[in-house]
Structures are given as C-alpha cells and as structure tokens.
Amino acid sequence: MLSLINGLNPWVVAIILNTVLLAVAWVAKKKLLTPAGYFHAWMLGILIWGTLGFPGYLVVMFYFLVGSFVTKVGMAQKEAEGIAEKRSGARGPENVWGSALTATICALLSVIATSYPEFPIPNSLLLLGYVASFSTKLSDTCASEIGKAYGQRTFLITTLQPVARGTEGAVSLEGTLAGVVASLAQALIGLGVGLINFLDLGWCVLAAFIATNIESVIGATLQSRYTWLTNELVNILNTLIGALTAMLLGWLWLSLSH
C-alpha cells in the first residue's frame, strides 16, 4: 500500500486523502470545525501533503487534534465564566489560517528551496520554521486553555498584578508549564518524522516560549486598543515570531559552529 501511495503524484494523494477525511469529519457527530472551517482545512491539508508529504501532514494533524482536545477541556466551566472560545471551540476559516498561515508559507518556500539550491534560505531552516510555528501555536493554545481551566493564580504579564482568568495578557504557572510541554511534544513529532534534528528541539521550545510571552504582551497592551488587531491576526504574528526566532537561532548556531 505504501509503495502504491509513494508511486502516485503527491498532489493526487493529497486531494484523495483530504477529501476522504473531509467526508468522514462531515458525518461525524462531534464537530471540531465549522462547515467553512472544514473546507479551508481541506485546502490546508492538500497544500501541506502536496509540499511536505506525510511528515508535514502528521505535524499539522497533531497540532489540530491536540489543540482541539485541549480547547474542550473544562468547556462547561469556561463557558459559565464567559471565557470559552466561541462556537464551543469549533474552528472557522479564520482560525485555520490564523494557526497555519506561517507554516504554509514555510512549506511552500521549502519546495522552492529544494528545487533551487541558490535560494537564500536553506531548506533545513524552513523546515525548522514550519515545525516551530506549530510548536508555538500549540504552546499558546495549551497555555491559554489550561490556564483558563486550571490556573489558580493568574497575573497580567506586563504588571504581574492579579487578574481574572481569561483576561487578555494573563499568564499562570499551570498554563505556562502546559505550554512548554506542548511545544516540546509538537517538536518531538517534527523530530520523529525527520523534519528537524535533535538540536532543533531546543530552538522550537525556546522560540515558542518567547513568542507566546510576546503574544501575551501584545494582548495586554495593544489588542484592546485596536479593533483591527483580532485574535486571528495576533495568532499569525505569534506563529511568525516563533518561526522566525527558531530559524534565527538555528542560523546563528550554524554560523558559529562553522
């Protein structure tokens, strides 16, 4: 079976696989995405499998499944407190691309870097950026959702003053630890499928920690002031910062070690 799949054009496999998964998800009782969200996830899945194959696809699927599960944790309590994700956690198109736009750009650039050796960004750094973007987003999702569900003491990141759970820019010990564990788990998937090396694990976790805290600062200082600074745009900035930070760390290490 694997040899048959490997013999097919990856874009053909991508379309068939994601169409089958879309059909299964569409008839399933539990809805993790809105109808439009499923269509955009279908497009995302095709792009990722077509560019990075099974390894890249497993990374994004791990993020999606774990992120969706964590969002449901303590949902009744979070809804009662008015701090739950809208639509009971069902993701729409804006959530799909808010989480995965940076990774998709890295995947597309990876194809170019593979085809053209003179491309200024090495393919290894683009793959690191791809994994780091999802490590960052899963870290952010787990930190936020676990913090809202189980955070005993939450503080505004800019002042360290106690604030209510769910406040923009709030952090908690429970959420922070969950975010670090999540970023490591996501990076380990990237390592397991061969997209990154062992040293890159550290860059992913460190970049995710930095980006997630920068996002909290943005939430505490800017998001309430500007209506155009939506959660989805902040998510794009978050994953972009995470990817670029990991790529910069990886590049600096390569430069200093040669």
Task: Identify the CA nearest to 186 among candidates 84, 56, 12, 17.
Answer: 56
**Start-to-end Cα distance in the chain:** 43
- The encoded tokens of residue 56 equal 């890249």
Nearest CA to 122 out of 258, 35, 257, 248 is that of: 248
Other C-beta atoms closer than 10 Å to the C-beta of 12 total 11
Q: What burial letters (b/e) apply to 27-42, b meaning 16+ CB within 10 Å?
A: eeeebbbbeebbebbb
Give the per-residue pLDDT at 4.
Answer: 47
pLDDT at 225: 87
Count other Cβ atoms within 10 Å, centred on residue 220: 19
Spatial separation of the C-alpha atoms in residues 134 and 27, rounded to whole Å: 27
> How confident is the model over 235-246, as pLDDT tens digits?
999 999 999 999
Say what the pLDDT of residue 2 is: 47
What secondary structure does DSSP assign to 181-209, as a single string? HHHHHHHHHHHHTTSS-HHHHHHHHHHHH
pLDDT at 179: 97
What tokens appear for 255 in the block? 């430069």
What's residue 5's pLDDT?
A: 56
What does the pLDDT profile of the chain (258 residues) look like in tens digits?
445 455 578 899 999 999 999 999 888 877 778 889 999 999 999 999 999 999 999 999 999 999 989 988 877 676 666 665 665 667 889 999 999 999 999 999 999 999 998 999 999 999 999 999 999 999 999 999 998 888 889 999 999 899 988 788 889 999 999 999 999 999 999 999 999 999 999 999 999 999 999 999 998 898 878 888 898 999 999 999 999 999 999 999 988 887
Give residue 187's Cα distance to chain centre.
11
